[in-house]
Amino acid sequence: MPESHDAVDVIRAKRDRHELDDGQIDWVIDAYTRGVVADEQMSALAMAILLNGMTRREIARWTAAMIASGERMDFSGLSRPTADKHSTGGVGDKITLPLAPLVAACGVAVPQLSGRGLGHTGGTLDKLESIPGWRADLTNEAMLSQLDSVGAVICAAGAGLAPADKKLYALRDVTATVEAIPLIASSIMSKKIAEGTGALVLDVKVGSGAFMKDVADARELATTMVGLGADAGVRTVALLTDMSTPLGLTAGNALEVTESVEVLAGGGPADVRELTLALAREMVAAAGVSDVDPADALADGRAMDAWRAMIAAQGGDPSATLPVAREQHVVTAPRDGVLTRLDALQVGVAAWRLGAGRARKEDVVQAGAGVQWHARPGDSVRAGAPLLTLHTDTPERFERALTSLEGAFDIADADVSDRLPLLIDRIA
């Protein structure tokens, strides 16, 4: 049967700044998924989209076509409403770990499909896999059962959700087209809409450790994704949050799990608690639950109970001792003063080089590797006191990690820096 369109015509149309019609978009996504459109042709189209953009109608149709390439999950049979959260990624961003059980403790089911880390940004599944026995891969039936009994699940997305996105994502990564906002927005939202959640809260990071380096670009991405959610009937809210400084006090897999459990126990770093509660309140409200304050569920232990049940349901031992790296190296403060800057990207690269992340998808990560910092911007430090501790099983990695930390922090006599607030903006 002959094809209804021609790839060259679609590429030419976008190259010449024309809007693609619905038929062209539906065909090119389907044909690329089937292998009729070659990688080099889709690469050319992705570059044309990067350079010339897309209208909201085009982005919505592109997203719908990617959703149509696979299956859609259905949570309508659950006894409670559903809400999900997506972060655009950052350094020390362990928020999903305490957030999912916290929201579940408030009566909202959380079907959290997460991914693995690549480069300087950590992956939620890598973090949880540092817990002995915990498994990321669940069938749809097991996921539904756990949502019904526990209220929260964090697991890997099945191959059936938006397979067009999986193929296109890998292509964008090697063709310098990752930065195209229409393609970022449709990639994220196609998976989240296909996942079937009733409400979605987006954590769009801004700063050196984030994909979006400035507020204007982050706001454009957030606004685009909120619009896509609205078009698909998913209640969607976005928070713009700062990622110029890494979150919490650790970046690494087991290190971040430990910090997350501290938050669930009522402690942990103030910024992690603040962002967890802010996102939880948005998720609960978006799901239509108005008479519950997540802070109460954190304070009275219900969130910790939900965490333990969630980990155990996926084969993990919530009481197990987590892996600890065999080697540590301490970086001390060179002078007295106030820490005015700690660069998120450089800390993330150091953690990656220590073994906490991967350069290729097939790389193995070290559960105990990572970076711990003992002060945050605005804190006073003393000369010779520990500022950073590097963790790894392979001490030959210290040299490259230390190289990545050169110039990563500033210490001054007083805190005169003009930092962004943690919560920058809300878009709904």
Query: Which sequence spans correspond to the domains of the chain?
Result: 84-158+195-313, 327-412
**Structure-token pair, residue 202:** 């987006």
Q: Are 244 and 44 in contact (CB under 8 A)?
A: no
Comparing 17-31, 53-67, 162-176, which segment has the lowest mean pLDDT?
162-176
**Structure-token pair, residue 328:** 């540590």
CATH class of 84-158+195-313: alpha beta
pLDDT in tens, 268-292: 999 999 999 999 999 999 999 988 9
Residues classed as catalytic: 86, 165, 172, 187, 191
pLDDT in tens, 296-333: 999 999 999 999 999 999 999 999 999 999 999 999 99
| Interatomic CA distance for residues 243 and 208, integer angstroms | 6
- Decide which of 386 and 363 is more confident: 386
Q: Are 65 and 30 in contact (CB under 8 A)?
A: yes
pLDDT of res. 211: 84
Q: Give the pLDDT band (50/70/90) at residue 179.
A: confident
Q: Give the pLDDT band (50/70/90) at residue 119.
A: low
Considering the entire predicted model, what is its pTM?
A: 0.93
Comparing 14-23, 54-63, 159-168, 234-243, which segment has the lowest mean pLDDT?
159-168
| Interatomic CA distance for residues 189 and 197, integer angstroms | 11
φ, ψ dihedrals at 346, nearest 5°:
-65, -35
pLDDT of res. 115: 79
Question: Mean pLDDT throughout 75-92?
Answer: 93
- Decide which of 284 and 175 is more confident: 284
- From the candidate CATH numbers 2.40.30.10, 1.10.630.10, 3.90.1170.30, 3.10.20.90, the one assigned to the domain spanning 327-412: 3.90.1170.30
| Interatomic CA distance for residues 333 and 415, integer angstroms | 16
Question: Mean pLDDT throughout 360-384?
Answer: 92
Question: Mean pLDDT throughout 72-81?
Answer: 92
381 has pLDDT over 90: yes
Q: Are 3 and 27 in contact (CB under 8 A)?
A: yes
Question: Mean pLDDT throughout 33-48?
Answer: 96
C-beta atoms surrounding 157 within 10 Å: 18
The total number of residues written for the chain in this structure:
428
